[in-house]
Amino acid sequence: MKIGVVTFPGSLDDRDAARAVRAVGAEAIALWHGDSDLHGVDAVILPGGFSYGDYLRCGAISRFAPVMSSIIEKAKSGMPLLGICNGFQVLCESHLLPGALTRNHALHFLCSDQTLKIENNSTAWTSDYEIGQEIVIPLKNGEGSFQCDDGTLARLEGEGLVVARYVGENPNGSRNLIAGITNARGNIVGLMPHPEHAIDPLTGPSAGGLGFFTSIMSQLVSK
């Protein structure tokens, strides 16, 4: 199985996402922002970081990268796509997922070991979790507050499109404690915290993030 990890200028967690991909036995394929060729990958991860410095709005420039046009096209026809942190921001800017990520309510960067509750295990990236399962994975960003209009929020909640929610105090002011969402088809997931940094208790707060990567492997293998 081949899972692509995109590097934009300013991507930071691309090597970490690739490590997590390898940890579950998949082949990690480096995809370059300026190259629209996806090299036959079965799924794609948009990693964390500050693509293009996030100088306009987070993810606003990346959506126009040549690689994104191919990814958007494939994802619309069902290719699994996971956006982590800056990747989630890119997914929202690309209109593959609704809503926007805005400045944390405390107005500064926050790095913490965050407890999440899995709310939807029918996506391509969360099938190995139980509904209601709690995991601890790192949250680290300055613009992680999920915002959307009331209608969108009602739809996300009503259709069960919330993938994961923060447990405990709201870390960044996200509406309804939303940490991650999916599309109706369940192939595209955007998540603010970093599962790739929780695949080994040696280097992360737990191995609770590994499920995102074992889930996609199960999906791809069973196809």
By beta-carbon proximity to another protein, the closer residue of 106 and 184 is 106
Residues 43, 206: Cα–Cα separation, whole Å: 25
Contact between 53 and another protein per CB under 8 A: yes
Contact between 15 and another protein per CB under 8 A: yes
- With CB under 8 A as the contact rule, the residue among 84, 94, 140, 156 that binds another protein is 140
By beta-carbon proximity to another protein, the closer residue of 110 and 160 is 110
Within 10 A of 170 (CB to CB), how many other CB atoms are there?
15
Contact 5, 29 (CB under 8 A): yes
- With CB under 8 A as the contact rule, the residue among 27, 30, 109, 185 that binds another protein is 109
- With CB under 8 A as the contact rule, the residue among 1, 2, 9, 36 that binds another protein is 9
Nearest C-alpha neighbor of 212 from the set 40, 21, 19, 1? 21
Residues 70, 68: Cα–Cα separation, whole Å: 5
Residues 99, 222: Cα–Cα separation, whole Å: 32
Q: Give least dist CB 142 to another protein, A.
A: 8
Contact 86, 54 (CB under 8 A): yes
Q: Give least dist CB 44 to another protein, A.
A: 19
Binding stretches for another protein (CB under 8 A): 9-10, 12-13, 15-16, 19, 48-50, 52-55, 106, 108-112, 138, 140, 142, 194, 196-197, 202-204
